[in-house]
Structure 1
């Protein structure tokens, strides 16, 4: 298993730094509630669809109260960020 470095994504109003294919965690009250990979997102970053390991696709909106973090397996930021 590789060590993953987590980074917070964007402001609470938008998740516009997340990219399709990113491994993400959604936290509520400091607790990991959901994990998976970003399957899609809206252009404004207000909505993301996350595919979990068992193949379940779920929609999350910034107003749902989750903090979104990207788990970066390389320990480096995305190019251009």
Structure 2
């Protein structure tokens, strides 16, 4: 089982994720995307995630994804 940075009593904060963090983005209980944070906005509401194969995708907090990550 992967350790999570977030406190068990609060949902993960998009503003806490940092460049280089390994992340999973899930929606409706299904993991839809995994990779490492390649970049993020200062506010943390937008992250760019890059897969091991080099695909890069932008995610916005309002897109309905749950973002989780492993301890660095």
Q: CA deviation at 1:4?
A: 2.4
Aligned to 1:6: 4
Aligned to 2:25: 26
Count of residues in Structure 1 that have an aligned counterpart in Structure 2: 67
Aligned to 1:62: 61
Q: Which runs of 4+ in 1 moved over 3 A?
A: none
CA RMSD of aligned residues (A): 1.5
Aligned to 1:79: none
More helix by proportion, 1 or 2? 2
Gaps of 5+ in 1: 74-81
Q: Deviations over 1:33-60 (max 9, x none)?
A: 0000000000001100000111001000
- Larger Cα-atom Rg: 1
Q: Tell me the TM-score normalized by structure 1.
A: 0.75
Gaps of 5+ in 2: 7-11
Q: Deviations over 1:42-81 (max 9, x none)?
A: 00011000001110010000111100001226xxxxxxxx
Q: Distance in 2 between matches of 1:39 and 1:66?
A: 17
